[in-house]
Every structure is written in C-alpha cells, then in structure tokens.
Structure 1
Amino acid sequence: MPKLSEISEKIGLNSKFLCEDVNIKNGYCCDLLSEVMGKAKEGSIWVTVHNNMNVVAVASMLDLKAVIITEGHKANDEFLKKAKEESISVFETNKDSFDVVGKLFELGIKG
C-alpha cells in the first residue's frame, strides 16, 4: 500500500497540503456525491472534478484520507481551510480523472 506522499510523487500531483502521510489501500472516483456517500470506503482516496465545500463534508463524513481534484479545477481557500481542519489531504492536477485512476490502480490501489 503506497503512502500519500508516494502517490503524489509518482502521479505528479500538486499537493495543496498533506495532513497525514498514511497508506492508502482503496480509492473511489465519482462526481456524484450521493454515489460517493454510498460506495466509497473509509480511509480511501477520492478522485473528483468537484471543488466545492460539499466535497469536504462528504470526505469528512466517510473518513476519507485525501481528495484529488482533477482536470485543472482548483480548491479555494475556504475549501482548503476546512479540509485541513478535517485532516483531509488535498491534491490537484491538470490530468483527467481516467488517467489518475489508472495510475492509482498501477500503484496497487483498488476500488
């Protein structure tokens, strides 16, 4: 299981901040919040294009460890402040979600 720092380095993510350099076993990719709430596993990394405060709320509720915001979308200061308060690491990338998920899979992270 790779640590968040290794994931960030190997995929080439822009780390907004790293709360805890934990091992990640599972990931989930979806932009529909209700699907994430019903299917993402605790401790996962979440891949999404969304950058609104609801992402932080859902990630916190599910005890997700990190969010990767893809396709060039950026988290604003309010998002980052709340994510840090909730101990959720945040990464950004210009890569599309499909490519990011493929790289996560290559690193051994499963759904």
Structure 2
Amino acid sequence: MSNNTIIPAQALNLVSLVNETEQGIASRILAKTSGGNLTLFAFDKGQGLSEHSAPFDALVMVLEGQLNLIIDGKPVNAEPGTIVRMPANIPHAVEAPTKAKMLLIMLREIKVN
C-alpha cells in the first residue's frame, strides 16, 4: 500500500484497518486528494482531540463505541451508524468515553477559475 492508503478494487472492513493504541489515538489516512482526506481514527477510552478548527467542513462517521463531540460549545453525542458535520472555521473537539473508531472525511473547497 503506497502512502498508507487503501488498496484499490478491494472490499475492506473499515474497523479492521486501524487498531487502538493503549491510552492513545491511532490514525490511518485511507485517501488523500486535493478535494479532501479520508482518515480512520481509533481512540482508547478517555482519549480525544483538543479543541481546534479547520478551514473546511469535516464529517465524522462513528463506526464503533461512542464519541462526544463539542462543536462551537454545543455537545453532540454520536454512536455507531451516525454522521456529524463539523462546519469550517468553527471550534470543535472530540472525546471518547469508551473505546471508539471513527471515519473523518475532510472536504476542501476546490477553487475553479
């Protein structure tokens, strides 16, 4: 696999593509283009991403466990099978009260001349 991205033309089980790290966070970039990135994250219980913002929209899809997202100060509880949009330039954070896995889709604006 080049650049740690996924092999083309194969059906892969998402949750098996990244493993939790004890007391940590593991991530794996599945795809990266000028239009955005697709990154898989695995959080150990109690781990998270501190508040930050990004210049483009991001979508979180919860695959396993539970995630507590804080978006512009508002708590959003997300469970497997749910998707949450985090708007561009809005502060957000991620907390994992349980072991959890999520797929993060970052959508960059492509400027057309």
TM-score between both structures, scaled by the size of structure 2: 0.26
Which of 1 and 2 has greater Rg? Answer: 2
More helix by share: 1
TM-score between both structures, scaled by the size of structure 1: 0.26
